[in-house]
Structure 1
Amino acid sequence: MRPGRQLAVLGIIFVVLYLLVFFAGGASGGWKDRLEPRLGLDLVGGTRLTLEATNTVDGRPPTSENLEEARQIIESRVNAYGVAEAEVVTEGDRNIVISLPGENRDLTDVGSAAELRFRKVLKAADGSGTIAPPPAATPNPSGSPAPSPSGGTEPEVTSSPSGGQGGMAPTPDATPTPSAPAPSPSASAAPETQTIEQQRQAVQQKVGAEAWQAANALQAPADLATDPSLAEKLAPFAELTPREVAVLPVPVQFNVPTVGCAQLDERPPASIKDENQQAVACEAGAKYLLDQAKVLGTDVSGASAVMDQTSQWVVSLDFKSGGQEKWTELTRESFNNTGQACDASALGQDGKCRVAVVLDNRIVSAPEIQGVLTGSSQITGNFTQAAASELAGNLRYGALPVTFEEQEQQNVTATLGESHLRAGLLAAGIGMLLVVIYSFFYYRLLGSVIFLSLVLSALLLFGAIVFLGRQIGFTLTLAGIAGIIVSLGVAADSFVIYFERLKDEIREGRSPRSAVPRAWTRARRTIISANAITLMSAVVLYVVSVGTVKGFAFALGLATVLDLLVVFLFRHPIMTMFARTRAFLSPRVSGLGRALPARTEQPAKPRNQRVKEA
């Protein structure tokens, strides 16, 4: 055996690992910053949000299955934002609690995406909520008030056009014209008709009969320059709360200029959940009248942020088989502007209709359709990587089966977390110190092997935690520190197995130099079995657990793997080198205890049984 080769391999692993820590995986800042691991909520503080489930999309109370499905979708959405070790758990029969470590974040949108809808944009108007006359609409597409999410050019939906631009046209009744008379309250009410009717009557009394009558008489956004008296009549609508605005008829929400985006964006969740009704929503301060939802979130099979051939970030969009047919029909209507349903104010730069991607009550993107799309589509625009990833996450995980209302969002202070961190590190330090003291007391020279092995394992583990924190978002929590402490006991067991086997070999009459490889051969199987059992337990615990328990299992499994690495690449080679030294032959120095004296005194003992008998 050539122990130098194994030690060289270990050295190479160390060099590569710490090169990755300092120079790869998004490392930035000073040397100290590059050595900082990603810490969990219980160690550095963070944000905790509690969401209460109201009803399912069909108006029924949520079941445990609905809540679990929603929890999984919310967890996937949070992870898609790049948040490390977010804890998303159910609490009771209605609440979902989200905990995110690190800097404080606004988590309101995480649970607000109760409905994902694709709606054609029919008209656009000013959404400022002021009573100043809106600018005159022109056919110039560049006047459209909907910039891209990144603040650059307007987003577009592109693919390989199918070529057929006439195609199937919807029936005349499928898409009501934007200028149709305002429907009666019962026509636009949600399933809870009586409740909506009562709320509308309350709103009517609040704004007054004159304002209500003037608002319902509007056939288009009010032109205050033509009729200045409308400014005074419609002013009471500016005092309505978002919940009151949500019960207004759709034409009133769009045509009344004093109903602004500030009110529309804050409507209760699922205020526009009915895909068979027109809706009003906002993007970048513009108020859009939206068509019925022809494609739903359940029709989407996948979405991802990718770079195209021009090195620009785009969102790739895939649909299920049935959803693809509906998406193709929607893009055909939008590309051809069938029936001139899209007003000039709502057209894109190329004079084509837009399709708004609506999550709950808000528009996350309103790209222009660039062709009849029969396959995978791309939403293009001046996206950054973060904007493309966020939009892809909204598309991929937007269709929650339950609507939620935010109950409490609080920022957890890091003061208690720092105290936990100090306590955890102190416990780990004390545990390691006790192992080292006992090792030197019982094994003497061999204790240095234990000490060096633990130091090397700790350095490997620390580098791995820092690197994995950047690469896969692994977050070290208090439970993870507990897993590392437990791994110290597993490492100590492997030392005891090896050294006690070595003593047995020497007692049987072998020299230390020949006893070391024989002891390693016999102890290796036991060491591997013990570590394999610990590793399997960690894997099972990681698979079936959630939250911080998953962090405990990951830390325990990682520490166990690294301990095995040190056993094979350091402990056995260094013991082979020690066996060739004089100090290893001394019972007082080597730590082999009575094994060596028993062997050296053995020849001096009378071994002839006949002498004893005589």
Structure 2
Amino acid sequence: MATPPRRRRPVRSLVTLLVVLVGLFGALLAGNRWSDASMTPALALDLEGGTQIILTPVADGDEEVTDDTIEQTIEIIRQRVDASGVAEAEITSQGGRNIVVALPGRPSPETLELVRESAQMLFRPVLAVSGPTAVPEAQEGADDAAGAEEPAAEEPAGEEPTAEEPAAEEPAAEAPQVEPTDPSDLAWITPELQAEFDAYDCTLPENLTGGSSLVGDPDAAVVACDENGFAKYVLGPVEVRGDDVERAESGLRVSSTGAVTNDWVVNIEFDGEGGRLFREVTTRLSSLESPRDQFAMVLDGLVISAPSVNEPITNGQAEISGTFDRESAGTLARQLSFGALPLTFEVQSEQQVSATLGTEQLQRGILAGAIGLLLVGLYSLVQYRALGLLTIASLVIAGAVAYGVIAVLSWTYGYRLSLAGVAGLIVAIGITADSFIVYFERIKDELRDGRPLAAAVEVGWARARRTILASDAVSFLAAVVLYVLAVGGVRGFAFTLGLTTLVDLLVVFLFTHPVMALLARTRFFSSGHALSGLDPRLLQAKTRYTGRGGVARAGERAGARSGPPEGEVPRRTAVPVGADERRTTIAERRAAERRASSSTSASSHDERKDA
């Protein structure tokens, strides 16, 4: 006995979609009222314009500014800009010499100052290390209790006050200050510095921007964050500077026997003065306990690496090992090499720039999207008649969800919509419509096989779902790869393409299929009306199942019973829903039709012969 199909609850899916939409736009409305959210997505530089700064790196002494130096400078500036919350910034090299920084909109003065500042490489000893978050206060109200006044002592009764002058109060004895003996001495951690360290939060973006505000006094202990926000440090005074580095390079480790291993390392070589200072530092650190045996390399106020010292390094050549791969080792080597060449930035120009494409191009992009929607809608109405209205409604819902997500990302993560992103949204129209077409065609195939509409909707969905998931998975994977490998505006295209692919899945699962299941219950669609797009006669369905083992030929009323002509061998052309039998292919059905036609022609010929 066949198992009946599981009962669906399409209304539940529609309610879930409604909750998503209300959540998106409700958050935007709340943010617009009580925060800095906007009901429209922020636009990128090519659509809104912004501020353009041209910088010229200047090296000290006789050193030259190389391409590697320019590349590393661009990476530092990009890290500063990204950490400050500005998205879709364009940072490029101009003529191999200048650096052009274009920031969309009206960036804050703090962000502009971060762009203008030069980077500094410093080497400091580690005094303490902990997790990145702030430490909660150990006891609330302790300060209030310590500052409370004690009640004054009562004077003895009957005694007259004396005329003596009150004795002068002696100043409270201060705790003796211990002078640090070396940069690794824990005496550098004063109560004030400890309180700052406990309250410092390296998960906040403002503490990861870099710049002079985070560098601190080179002759004092400071608090600093790991560049990725994974840890925070108390660091001693500066002992070695970046200009003491002669060179730094990455490569595979070579053992003492000359064999090349599979471990990636970074090799540093200091100049004469740097080698002498580094020998003194490593001699001291190698005898200390963890974490005071670590030496922090600080670039732009952030710790890029803090390796421990195993033994004194007397020749001025150090090897940094750890969990490096080719990319991470190369990045650290470039950062250290950049520190070997101290740079300052000369601001050649700073000006407001208009949008390179502007409002006119944005309007044309929106017009192109509208034309695409119109053509898809007209095609759906011609091809699927009333069923095409479901395609149009699904596209409208998909557009609303995508708009809400982009607006929320603009508010919360600083995302900005570029013209390339608009192109990604337009391309997504075809991807979304393709999912609906796959589903509708599956339904029509099931109707051609004789299934009633309600069963055709569920069976067609079960088969179309696999195709839709596979197609969207390929599109999403392509968008991810493009986003990772590309730069600039291409990443904006990849982002919106991947986003709308996810939105397509959301709409198909929570709107298109549930609404189709509800439409299948209406008389207009279930009866196969000519304008429904699901008329069995237009679909060239030979027979269709009418219940209780009966079948009806195309064009007959649903209650009509039909069977094979007298004397002809019965041939099954439709099966009840859920019957566990193999379905015939299109080729098999056509072959059966040809055999039936040949049998009919032979019977007519025999009748004429007998006559």
TM range (shorter): 0.5 to 0.7
Equivalent in the alignment of 2:354? 413
Amino acid corresponding to residue 226 of structure 2 in structure 1 = G
Amino acid corresponding to residue 9 of structure 2 in structure 1 = R
Equivalent in the alignment of 2:498? 557
CA contact (8 A) 1:26 1:470 kept: no
CA contact (8 A) 1:118 1:294 kept: no
The 5-angstrom pairing of residues 158-197 of structure 1 reads 165-168=178-181
Of 318, 342, 351, which residue of structure 1 is paired with 2:233? 318
CA distance, structure 2, for counterparts of residue 429 and residue 68 of structure 1: 41
CA distance, structure 1, for counterparts of residue 72 and residue 224 of structure 2: 16
Q: CA deviation at 1:591?
A: 1.3
Query: 1:529-564 deviations in whole A, cap 9, x for unaligned?
Result: 111111111111111122221111111111110110
Equivalent in the alignment of 1:455? 396
Equivalent in the alignment of 2:42? 38
Q: Percent identity?
A: 39
Unpaired runs of 5+ residues, structure 1, are 120-161, 171-281, 284-290, 306-315, 330-373, 377-391
Would you say 1:601 and 2:507 are equivalent positions? no
Would you say 1:590 and 2:532 are equivalent positions? yes
Equivalent in the alignment of 2:483? 542
CA distance, structure 1, for counterparts of residue 72 and residue 423 of structure 2: 31
The 5-angstrom pairing of residues 262-411 of structure 1 reads 293-294=218-219, 302=226, 318=233, 324-326=235-237, 395-396=301-302, 401=339, 402-411=343-352
Amino acid corresponding to residue 73 of structure 2 in structure 1 = A
CA contact (8 A) 1:114 1:404 kept: no
Amino acid corresponding to residue 93 of structure 1 in structure 2 = G
CA contact (8 A) 1:3 1:573 kept: yes
Equivalent in the alignment of 1:62? 65
- CA change 1:292–1:79 in 2 (3 A) is closer
CA distance, structure 2, for counterparts of residue 506 and residue 304 of structure 1: 58
SS in 2 for 1:89: strand
Would you say 1:53 and 2:6 are equivalent positions? no
Q: CA deviation at 1:94?
A: 2.3
Of 401, 417, 422, which residue of structure 1 is paired with 2:363? 422
Would you say 1:71 and 2:74 are equivalent positions? yes
Amino acid corresponding to residue 49 of structure 1 in structure 2 = I
Would you say 1:115 and 2:99 are equivalent positions? no
Would you say 1:9 and 2:12 are equivalent positions? no
Equivalent in the alignment of 2:86? 83
- CA change 1:474–1:113 in 2 (3 A) is same
CA distance, structure 2, for counterparts of residue 460 and residue 466 of structure 1: 10
- CA change 1:68–1:28 in 2 (3 A) is same
Q: CA deviation at 1:510?
A: 0.9
Q: CA deviation at 1:89?
A: 2.6
SS in 2 for 1:34: coil
SS in 2 for 1:96: strand
- CA change 1:9–1:393 in 2 (3 A) is farther
Amino acid corresponding to residue 237 of structure 2 in structure 1 = K
CA distance, structure 2, for counterparts of residue 512 and residue 28 of structure 1: 50
Of 430, 434, 437, which residue of structure 1 is paired with 2:378? 437
CA contact (8 A) 2:31 2:38 kept: no
**TM-score (norm. length: structure 1):** 0.55
- CA change 1:445–1:598 in 2 (3 A) is farther
CA contact (8 A) 2:80 2:114 kept: no
CA contact (8 A) 1:48 1:98 kept: yes
Unpaired runs of 5+ residues, structure 2, are 1-7, 125-174, 184-211, 241-289, 293-297, 305-334, 544-552, 557-561, 569-595, 604-611
- CA change 1:524–1:573 in 2 (3 A) is same
The 5-angstrom pairing of residues 129-208 of structure 1 reads 165-168=178-181
CA contact (8 A) 1:51 1:96 kept: yes
CA distance, structure 2, for counterparts of residue 115 and residue 77 of structure 1: 13
CA contact (8 A) 1:80 1:393 kept: no
Query: 1:225-246 deviations in whole A, cap 9, x for unaligned?
Result: xxxxxxxxxxxxxxxxxxxxxx
- CA change 1:294–1:393 in 2 (3 A) is closer
CA distance, structure 2, for counterparts of residue 375 and residue 164 of structure 1: 24
Q: CA deviation at 1:573?
A: 0.6
Equivalent in the alignment of 1:227? none
- CA change 1:482–1:303 in 2 (3 A) is closer
**TM-score (norm. length: structure 2):** 0.55
Q: CA deviation at 1:50?
A: 2.2
Q: CA deviation at 1:27?
A: 5.3
CA contact (8 A) 2:49 2:355 kept: yes
CA contact (8 A) 2:438 2:464 kept: yes
CA distance, structure 2, for counterparts of residue 489 and residue 67 of structure 1: 42
Q: CA deviation at 1:74?
A: 0.3
CA distance, structure 2, for counterparts of residue 509 and residue 169 of structure 1: 90
Amino acid corresponding to residue 580 of structure 1 in structure 2 = R
Query: 1:170-189 deviations in whole A, cap 9, x for unaligned?
Result: 9xxxxxxxxxxxxxxxxxxx
Q: CA deviation at 1:425?
A: 1.1
Amino acid corresponding to residue 595 of structure 1 in structure 2 = L
- CA change 1:27–1:416 in 2 (3 A) is farther
Equivalent in the alignment of 1:569? 510
Q: CA deviation at 1:481?
A: 0.4
- CA change 1:565–1:116 in 2 (3 A) is same
Would you say 1:500 and 2:441 are equivalent positions? yes
Of 576, 579, 593, which residue of structure 1 is paired with 2:520? 579
Aligned length: 378
Q: CA deviation at 1:116?
A: 6.3
The 5-angstrom pairing of residues 457-536 of structure 1 reads 457-536=398-477
Equivalent in the alignment of 1:20? 27
CA contact (8 A) 2:24 2:405 kept: yes
Q: CA deviation at 1:164?
A: 7.2
Amino acid corresponding to residue 75 of structure 1 in structure 2 = R
The farther-off stretch of 578-587 and 425-434 is: 578-587
Q: CA deviation at 1:393?
A: 11
- Give the RMSD, CA atoms, in angstroms: 4.0
SS in 2 for 1:588: coil
Equivalent in the alignment of 1:252? none
Amino acid corresponding to residue 425 of structure 2 in structure 1 = I
CA contact (8 A) 1:46 1:412 kept: yes
- CA change 1:304–1:328 in 2 (3 A) is farther
Query: 1:572-603 deviations in whole A, cap 9, x for unaligned?
Result: 11111111112213352221362266544288
CA distance, structure 1, for counterparts of residue 363 and residue 291 of structure 2: 55
Q: CA deviation at 1:58?
A: 7.0
CA contact (8 A) 1:10 1:570 kept: yes
The farther-off stretch of 75-84 and 452-461 is: 75-84
Amino acid corresponding to residue 412 of structure 2 in structure 1 = Q
- CA change 1:58–1:461 in 2 (3 A) is farther
Which has the higher relative contact order, 1 or 2, with Cα contacts under 8 A spaced 6 or more apart? 1
